[in-house]
Structure 1
C-alpha cells in the first residue's frame, strides 16, 4: 500500500505511524500523532461500529476522571465528551436493610463522569476522521509483524492478505493484543496474566415515568462482602447495573425463580426498580463474563513498536482507571516526544522507563479497590478513616491527600501515589494510636487524682475497662 504524507518542515513528520486497534486509546492516539503531522493508519479488526447494527464487546459503563479529561483536552475534545456524560459526586451505599448513605468522592465540586463506551468510541472515530492525515482501515485483522522492518500482514474480511509497512507500530489492541504476541518471543520480556475468580453480568434498570429510577448523580453500590452490584446512570435515563460475583455463585442461580430469590435476599430494593421479569431476562441473556489483569515489561521494542492501553496494562474495572490510564498513556508519550524531538530510538525507551512502574501500580490498585467497594465500605473503621483523611486533607492539603483523590483528581504518577499512600497511612495510624494512648493515660490519671465516690474497683477490672477504650471500632 502506498501512503501519501503531508508536507512538513521536519522529515521525521513524514513517517508513517500504524495504530493497531480502533478502540478508545487507538483513536485518541491517532489524533495525537496526526496533530504532530505524521501520516497515521488505524487498523481495526472489527467493522465500523458507527455502522454496525450490533456492537460486539464489553459494554460496562466507563468512568471519566481528571487524567482522561486532560488527555482529551489536548486534542480539543474535553468539553464535548463532558457534555455527553453524567456527573457523579459520591458513592451511594445501599445497605442490606435498604438504607442508603452517600460517601463523597472528594471535595465539593469534584466528581467523576459516567460515560457510555460505545458512544465515546464513535465520537473518537469521528474526531479521527476530521484529520486529513488519518486513514481508518476496518475489518483488518493482524496476522503477524516484523520486529526488524516494521512490516505487518493483515487479513481482510473477505480473506485477502495485505502487506503494510510502517515506521512505528503502536499496539492499542487490548488485553489480548496481537501486537504483544511478538514481544513474547523476545528474551527478557516479562509478562503475567491473571484471571480473577469473579465474573460480571449486566442488567438494565429502566426509567420510571420517564425519569431516573434512582438519584442519577451517584455511583450506586450494593456491597455484600464477597460480591457486589453497582449502577451507573445513562443519558437515556436508564441505569447500567453490573453484578460482580464469583463464578461459582453465578452457577448456583440456574432458574428465574432462583434469580428473584437471590435478589430478594441481597438486593431486594432493586427488584421493583428493575422489574422481576426484566431481571430474569437480563440475568440469562449472556453468561457471566471474565475479567483479566495484565502486566508486562517493557512497553516498547527497539524503535519500531510501543504498547499502550490494555495491551500494556489491562486491569479489572474497579478503580475506573482503565480508560483514564490508557488516555494518559497518549499524553505521556506526547510529552516525551516534545522533550526528545520525536526521535523514536530515544522516545520509546524513555516511555517504558516512565510508564511501566505506573502501569503496574494502577493494575494493583484496581484489584485493591474491588475489596474496598464490595467489603470495606461496610466497615465503621473505613468510614471513620475516610472522615479523618478528609479532615487532615483540609488542614494539610499538600501533605495528606486521600488515595482516591490522588488517583482520580490529580495526575500524580500512579507509583508515587502508592508510595505516598503507604507513608501517610502509616503516619495517620500511628497518630490515631498515639491519641488513643493519650486518652487512656489521661483517663487513668483522672481516676487516680480524682477517684469517684463509689466502692473500690479491683485493679484487674479497671484495667479491663481501660483496655476496651483502645478499640472503639
Structure 2
C-alpha cells in the first residue's frame, strides 16, 4: 500500500474519526494518507479480536463508487479478491422457474463482500499508517463545536477529554456526533422507519459446492415481501427475508413458519433445511430498517458527518456502503480543490454531497418496490430489455438507471433527473407506436432487423425532438 503523504505545512491538523466501522476506517486511511494526525474512536471492541461480532451482517454489494474510493487508498485489489461477482438478478418464481436479469453490459457486475472481513481489512489498513491511532471501547458522550473538545467514556469507565481540529462523525444511523447538530437552528433532520423488517438465514453448501448459481443476486419476489440470497466465499448463501412486521408477528410457531415457507418459498426448504429454518427464524426477532436524511453535513469548522451518520439508507439499491465510501472520495476531491482549507471545504462538501445522498435514499426506497413486485411484471421485464437495447444504440443518451447508479460516478441526483426524463421520452415513444401491443413488433424488429433498428430509433428520436417533448 502506498503510504505517501502530502506535506503541505509543518503542522498537520488533528482529525478525530468517531466510529470505526466501514466508512470511519476508510476515512482514517484518506486523512492519514494526507499526513494528518488521525485518531479513530470506536464504541465497540476491536472487531478483529472479538469472539462474536454484533450488529448487522447483511451482505454488501460493492460497486463502482465504492471501488473507486478503495482504489484511492490502495485497497481495491485486496477487497475485490475476497468478493464474488454477481452479474445479475436471478428471479425465483413461485412455481420454481428461474430467470435471470443482467445488471448491465457483458462484463459488468457487482461484488458480494462480507461486512465483517471488509471492516477488519480497513481497520488494519488504517492502523498501518504511522500517523494513525485506533481506540476501542470509547463511547462519545458530548463534544463542543467551539473548542473541538470531545468527552468520551473510556474502556476503564472514566470520562476522558480529547481535543481535535476536525471531528469526522462516522458513527452510524444513531450517531452520537450528530446530536450536537440537533441543538443548532436551521439543521434539517428526518428519520423514517419502513414498515418492513428483515431476518437472516444461512443456506449451507451442497456436496461441497454452492447450492445455487453463485454469480447472481437471487430474489424470490412475492409482491409485499421478498427473500434475497447473496453468495459467500465459504460456499454458503446469506438469505435475507424482508417482510412487513405484521407478517413476521404471525409466524409464532414452527408449524405456522413451515406452512408459510411451503406456500411462498417451497424451493428454499430443501436448500436451507427444515432444522436450520426453525433455528434461524426463531433465533432473533426481525430487525428494523431506518432511513435518515439531514442537512447541513457540517457544523462550523469543527465537524462533518459522513456515511450513515449523514444519510442512512435502506439496503435495497445496494448503495449504502458505496455512498458512504464515495463520501470519503468526494471530500478528498474537495480537499484538493481548496488546498485543504477546512473553512472552505466543509460548506462546499455539504453543498455538493447532500442532494446526492438524499437522492440515493429515495432511490433505495423505490428499489424495494421494484425488487419485491415489479420484477414479476412482463411489462417491467420488457422495459428492462428495451432500455438495454436503446442504451446499446444510444449509449450517451439512454442510460438505464441501475447503470448510472451502479457502474458510473454520475451524481445520484443527476441520475434521477436523467432517468425521469428518459422515462417520459421512452413511454411517449411507445405510445407513438399506437399501443403496448406494439412491443411485440419492436421485439421482432430488434431480432430480425437489428441493422435497421438503429435507424428507426433515430427517426423516432428526431420526431420526439421536433415535438418538443424534452422540455416536459
1:430 corresponds to: 428
Residue 55 of structure 2 corresponds to residue 57 of structure 1: yes
1:11 corresponds to: 9
2:275 corresponds to: 277
Separation of aligned partners in 1, 2:298 and 2:103: 35
- Cα deviation digits, residues 405-449 of structure 1 (max 9, x gap): 000000000000000000000000000000126999xx9xxxxxx
| CA gap 1:84/1:35 in 2 versus in 1, 3 angstroms | same
Separation of aligned partners in 1, 2:399 and 2:252: 45
SS of residue in 2 equivalent to 1:179: coil
2:116 corresponds to: 118
Separation of aligned partners in 2, 1:100 and 1:438: 25
- How far apart are 1:260 and its partner, in Å? 1.1
1:450 corresponds to: none
Instruction: Decide which of 230, 233, 242 is 1:235's aligned counterpart.
Output: 233
- How far apart are 1:14 and its partner, in Å? 1.4
Separation of aligned partners in 1, 2:260 and 2:74: 46
Residue 162 of structure 2 corresponds to residue 164 of structure 1: yes
Instruction: Decide which of 67, 90, 103 is 2:65's aligned counterpart.
Output: 67
Preserved contact between residue 224 and residue 243 of structure 2 (Cα < 8 Å): yes
Preserved contact between residue 7 and residue 14 of structure 1 (Cα < 8 Å): no
Preserved contact between residue 8 and residue 14 of structure 1 (Cα < 8 Å): no
1:389 corresponds to: 387
Instruction: Decide which of 362, 365, 373 is 2:363's aligned counterpart.
Output: 365
2:257 corresponds to: 259
2:100 corresponds to: 102
- Cα deviation digits, residues 218-268 of structure 1 (max 9, x gap): 000000000000000000000000000000000000111111110000000
Preserved contact between residue 7 and residue 35 of structure 2 (Cα < 8 Å): no
1:449 corresponds to: none
SS of residue in 2 equivalent to 1:178: coil
Separation of aligned partners in 1, 2:313 and 2:347: 23
Instruction: Decide which of 393, 416, 419 is 2:417's aligned counterpart.
Output: 419
Separation of aligned partners in 1, 2:233 and 2:425: 43
TM-score (norm 1): 0.91
Separation of aligned partners in 1, 2:256 and 2:124: 44
- Cα deviation digits, residues 91-113 of structure 1 (max 9, x gap): 00000111000000000000000
- Cα deviation digits, residues 53-77 of structure 1 (max 9, x gap): 0000000000000000000000011
Aligned length: 436
The RMSD of aligned alpha carbons is 1.5
Instruction: Decide which of 274, 291, 298 is 2:296's aligned counterpart.
Output: 298
Instruction: Decide which of 77, 80, 96 is 2:78's aligned counterpart.
Output: 80
Separation of aligned partners in 1, 2:436 and 2:227: 42
